[in-house]
């Protein structure tokens, strides 16, 4: 594959999925779902900063923060949606703590590099693209607010 390197630690994630049989890919996605950190106390009570991603069939909320020039991602996805949590886990693992410029450079076709089309429906894959879109829009908003 001659694709340009991905920002942050996303290349590691793509590597992790590469070449795995379909069932094992699903297990790995479940691992990412289980690895998604719980929401910090502060957010548990105040959901104001969260934005809903409508493309996701299930209620799914995203919030980003800029701290010391680093992006922090917060995802609120229900336990009944392990696939969505898996996507959130992937984005968290790949981008949390990275510089805003890195987050904004993630290409829109990133989800297709995971090779999940066989395992996960196209509708679901659009969901992860939508989550990425919301994250990037929020980061742009944070940057604009700071300047």
> Which residues sit at the interface with other proteins, rule CB under 8 A?
22, 26-27, 29-30, 33, 54-55, 57-58, 79-84, 86, 118-121, 123-124, 126, 129-130, 133, 137
Smallest distance from other proteins to CB 25, Å = 11
Look up tokens 């920002």; give the residue: 7
As a whole number of angstroms, the distance between CA 41 and CA 114 comes to 32
**7 or 86: CB nearest other proteins:** 86
**42 or 144: CB nearest other proteins:** 144
**70 or 113: CB nearest other proteins:** 113
**42 or 145: CB nearest other proteins:** 145
As a whole number of angstroms, the distance between CA 16 and CA 134 comes to 25
Smallest distance from other proteins to CB 121, Å = 4
Burial label, 146 (beta-carbon count in 10 A; 0-12, 13-18, 19+):
exposed
Smallest distance from other proteins to CB 38, Å = 17
Q: Which contacts qualify for 135-138: CB closer than 8 Å, 24 or more apart?
A: 135/62, 135/64, 135/73, 135/91, 135/95, 135/103, 136/103, 136/104, 136/106, 138/51, 138/62, 138/63, 138/64
Smallest distance from other proteins to CB 130, Å = 6
Smallest distance from other proteins to CB 82, Å = 4
**10 or 138: CB nearest other proteins:** 138
As a whole number of angstroms, the distance between CA 138 and CA 71 comes to 10
């Amino acid at each position: 594959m001659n694709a340009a390197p991905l920002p942050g630690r996303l290349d590691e994630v793509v590597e992790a999925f590469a070449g795995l049989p379909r069932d094992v890919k699903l297990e790995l996605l479940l691992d990412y779902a289980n690895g998604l950190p719980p929401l910090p106390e502060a957010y548990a009570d105040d959901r104001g900063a969260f934005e809903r991603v409508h493309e996701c069939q299930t209620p799914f909320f995203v919030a980003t923060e800029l701290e010391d020039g680093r992006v922090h991602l917060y995802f609120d996805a229900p336990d009944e949606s392990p696939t969505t949590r898996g996507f959130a886990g992937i984005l968290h693992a790949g981008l949390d703590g990275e510089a805003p410029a890195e987050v904004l450079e993630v290409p829109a076709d990133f989800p297709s590099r995971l090779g999940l089309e066989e395992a996960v429906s196209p509708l679901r894959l659009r969901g992860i693209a939508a989550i990425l879109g919301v994250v990037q829009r929020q980061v742009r908003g944070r940057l604009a607010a700071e300047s």
